[in-house]
Structure formats: structure tokens, C-alpha cells
Amino acid sequence: MDLNGDQKELIDLFVKQELLIEKLYKRFSEKYPEHKRFWTNMAYEEYQHALTINRLMESDAHNRIIFSQGELRSTSLNSSIKFIENLIGDLNSNTAAFPVGRAATIALQLEKGLWENKIFQYFDGDAPEVKKVLNSLHLEQEVHIRKIRKFALQFMNSTRTE
């Protein structure tokens, strides 16, 4: 893949963001042992997203992938990264009350933000194997959001009835 400096930076930031979300979800799995399985699965999916993008970039010796940054800018990714780093810091310091419902809501907001920014849709390619990977990432993101939404709903419903 033939990238200019800005595009390379955006992809690197995007992968960093995915890995930070993985770290956040791992931290949630430690903080909420009763939901460890859910958060561990979500963390694994985030890791897989980052790994897939890295593999895709590294394996594109024939420039079959196009990255069109559109309106995506490093400032928005850096803001998101800083937000996630602060969340992890808050969780590690144990200074803030952080009920599992809040964790679920934050996870849903993060994932919906990625979806609304159409992160995976900035990548394109003509080769069938590239299209297959990109379509898979897109579908995985949809399923990922549905899982988190379903998980978060149980806490939203319980706070409404209390």
C-alpha cells in the first residue's frame, strides 16, 4: 500500500485506538468478574480488528488497497485515544465510581463513534481477497455493536425500574 505520511499516521492511530479499547475492555473484565467472559470476548474482538488491519497493510505489496481518509483527521483520533487513556487511568486509580452500567454505556458510545465515523469504510480495494477482508471487518463491527448494545440494555432497563 502506497501511503502518504498523513494516511500512515491515521492508520497507526486507528490501530492504536483499537488496541487501547482492547486494553479498556480487559480492564473491565478485571473490574467486573461477574461479566469477565463478555468483556474478554469484546477485548479479543478489538485485538482481532487491529491485527487484521496490520496484516492487511503489511501484506499489500502490490498496492491493492486504497485508503481514502475523507474527513478523518488525526485530531479526532487523538482526542478519542486521549479519552480512552483517561478512562483506563481512572479505572486503574480506582478513584471514580464506575458501575458496570456506565462501562457498558461508554463501550457502546465508543463503538457507535467508530461506526458513525465509518472507520473501516476508508479502506477499499479491487482484489477479491481484500474486499473479503474489508467486508468481514465491516460485518464484525456491526455484530460487535449489537453485542454491546444488548449487554448495555440490561443495565439501562434495570436503572429505569429501580
Contacts of 53 (CB under 8 A, 6+ apart): 11, 14, 15, 18, 123, 137
Q: How many domains, in total, are found in the chain?
A: 1
The CATH number of the domain holding residue 14 is: 1.20.1260
Question: Are the C-beta atoms of residues 68 and 3 closer than 8 Å to each other?
Answer: no
Q: Do the beta carbons of residue 25 and residue 107 sit within 8 Å? A: yes
pLDDT digits (tens, 9 = 90+) for 119-159: 555 555 666 676 777 778 778 888 889 999 999 998 876 54
What predicted TM-score, i.e. pTM, was given to this entire model? 0.82
Q: Give tens-digit pLDDT for 28-58.
A: 999 999 999 999 999 999 999 899 888 877 7
Structural domain boundaries, residue 74: 5-161
Identify the helix (H) or strand (E) that includes residue 125: strand 123-125
Question: Which residue has 449489537 as its cell numbers?
Answer: 146
- The model's confidence at residue 160, banded by pLDDT at 50, 70 and 90, is very low
Q: State how far the Cα of 156 lies from the Cα of 39, in Å rounded to an integer.
A: 18
Helix (H, G, I), strand (E, B) or coil at 67: strand
